[in-house]
Amino acid sequence: MRQTRNGAHYRPDIYAHSAIVNPYPHYARMRELGSVVWLPRQRVYALPRYAECKAVLRDDTVFISGSGVALNRISNRLSRGTTLNSDGADHERRRKLVAHRLLPRALGAISDTVDRLAGQVVDDAVRRGEIDGVELAAALPLAVVPDLVGWPRDQREHLIAWAGATFDALGPLNRQAVRSVPGTTQMLRFARRVVRQRTVLDGSLAHELLASVDQGAVSADECPALLVDYIAPSLDTTISAISNALDLFARHPEQWQLLRAEPHRIPNAVNEIVRFESPLRAFARQTCVDTEIAGAALASGSRVLVIYASANRDEREWDRPETFDITRDAGRHIGFGQGAHACAGQGLARLETSAMLRELAERVARIERTGPPRWAINNIIRRHERLPLRLVAA
């Protein structure tokens, strides 16, 4: 077996500001270097290609999440007790508590409300004409998700900042990860108070979680982390998908005309958006035995970085990966993960993104950029900070 630390290395920092803004040239060079590439700064084996990313995500007995999916020890410690950071029976038990609330069948009950709210949000934006695409993208998730999860109505103004910080902190311990630690701890502290005071909304996912405490299925101590599990990834991720959709259709007007003419393509368009601009860049795993990936030896305890955003542009897997094309078969992307830890909220994310695209396609003839967009600097989430656009009414 080949020893990779002596094999392919990639020295540039893929978490430097410039790389966060434009990561794709880095990913392309790493894919050229090989299937397993040692990143000396992060001391991690990166997987830039599709096949190895998918295989590792599916092999959750060798590549475990329980010792953390972040690139630093502090966040891995703070994230203990979450569904994301657990393995085997423990993971299954945690996931079973509430994930069923986000399956398509359960979401049927709110789909009319989501459509109605999306209609209102889009009407208002079309009336204004000139908008910030990020504000438009945030409106529906903010109107739907905190109520569904059951987060109390006070302190909602902090949610986006806290959730963004929670993601940022999962990167390497660079300056912005350090800056994000207070936001992460404030969110966890507030979640502890919510559980202690039982201030969750009736009938919500969090309400069901507390009912599980009463039935003895889960301890009250576990609940704050489990609440953060669902509230933290519920906003930024979907805001990323919707704002990236707005930007991509502004840059590819022929794709927008096609979507308007053939709205049955919306579900696949959502896949293509998540493939082309994956909202989550990468998460880590740890090997729990000596193993190998594509002939490269990895000792037990090695950390491996699964780069979803690079896998989704791997030229070995995708024909013309740098082309945004809503007609391609994009369903096998791994932007929502894969295997045991595949995104528990993807049904909701798809519902919201599709509703927004449907309402926009009906009312908007053209989407135009009116200024340069600005990317948010976040170690994990790829989304715009500002996206100046004009919506031209149909």
- Among 340, 139, 111, 94, smallest CA distance to 238 is for 139
CB of 321 to ligand HEM, least distance (A): 18
CB of 379 to ligand HEM, least distance (A): 14
Contacts of 80 (CB under 8 A, 6+ apart): 225
Which CB, 42 or 234, lies closer to ligand HEM?
234
Window of 22-30, 104-112, 232-240, 373-381 that interacts with ligand HEM by CB under 6 A: 232-240
Which CB, 8 or 376, lies closer to ligand HEM?
376
- The contact pattern for ligand HEM, residues 286-325, with x = CB under 6 A and - = no contact, is ----------------------x-----------------
Which CB, 69 or 71, lies closer to ligand HEM?
69
| Alpha-carbon span 147 to 350, nearest angstrom | 18
Q: How is residue 313 written in tokens?
A: 């542009």
Q: Is 46 in contact with 10 (CB distance < 8 Å)?
A: yes
CB of 353 to ligand HEM, least distance (A): 7
Q: Is 265 in contact with 259 (CB distance < 8 Å)?
A: yes
Window of 158-166, 173-181, 229-237, 310-318 that interacts with ligand HEM by CB under 6 A: 229-237
* Cα first-last separation, the chain: 60
Task: Figure out which of the listed residues 39, 69, 97, 367 binds ligand HEM, where binding follows CB under 6 A.
Answer: 69
The CA-CA-CA angle for residues 86, 216, 202, to 5°, reads 90
Window of 37-45, 108-116, 128-136, 335-343 that interacts with ligand HEM by CB under 6 A: 335-343
Task: Figure out which of the listed residues 75, 174, 184, 234 binds ligand HEM, where binding follows CB under 6 A.
Answer: 234
- The contact pattern for ligand HEM, residues 13-52, with x = CB under 6 A and - = no contact, is ----------------------------------------
Longest dimension (CA), the chain: 62
Which CB, 8 or 56, lies closer to ligand HEM?
56
Answer yes or no whether residue 151 interacts with ligand HEM by CB under 6 A.
Answer: no
Answer yes or no whether residue 337 interacts with ligand HEM by CB under 6 A.
Answer: yes
Q: How is residue 136 written in tokens?
A: 């438009």
- Partners of 305 in the β-ladder: 46, 284
| Alpha-carbon span 227 to 199, nearest angstrom | 13
CB of 280 to ligand HEM, least distance (A): 5
Closest-approach residue to ligand HEM (CB): 345
Answer yes or no whether residue 241 interacts with ligand HEM by CB under 6 A.
Answer: yes
Answer yes or no whether residue 183 interacts with ligand HEM by CB under 6 A.
Answer: no
| Alpha-carbon span 242 to 133, nearest angstrom | 9
For residue 87, with 0-12 CB atoms within 10 Å meaning exposed, 13-18 middle and 19 or more buried, which class applies? middle
Window of 171-179, 194-202, 210-218, 273-281 that interacts with ligand HEM by CB under 6 A: 273-281
- Partners of 150 in the β-ladder: none
| Alpha-carbon span 278 to 53, nearest angstrom | 14
Kindly state the number of chain residues that form the binding site for ligand HEM, as judged by CB under 6 A.
Answer: 30
Q: How is residue 89 written in tokens?
A: 């029976």
Torsion on CA atoms 95, 98, 103, 106, rounded to nearest 10: 160
How many CB atoms within 10 Å of residue 106?
15
| Alpha-carbon span 294 to 4, nearest angstrom | 10
| Alpha-carbon span 225 to 301, nearest angstrom | 25
Answer yes or no whether residue 276 interacts with ligand HEM by CB under 6 A.
Answer: no
Which CB, 15 or 336, lies closer to ligand HEM?
336
Which CB, 132 or 352, lies closer to ligand HEM?
352
Position 146, amino acid = P
Answer yes or no whether residue 230 interacts with ligand HEM by CB under 6 A.
Answer: yes
Task: Figure out which of the listed residues 48, 321, 335, 373 binds ligand HEM, where binding follows CB under 6 A.
Answer: 335
Which CB, 8 or 133, lies closer to ligand HEM?
133
CB of 65 to ligand HEM, least distance (A): 6
| Alpha-carbon span 261 to 329, nearest angstrom | 19
Per CB under 6 A, residues contacting ligand HEM are: 57, 65, 69, 83-84, 95, 102, 145, 229-230, 233-234, 237-238, 241, 274, 279-280, 283, 308, 335-337, 341, 343-346, 348-349
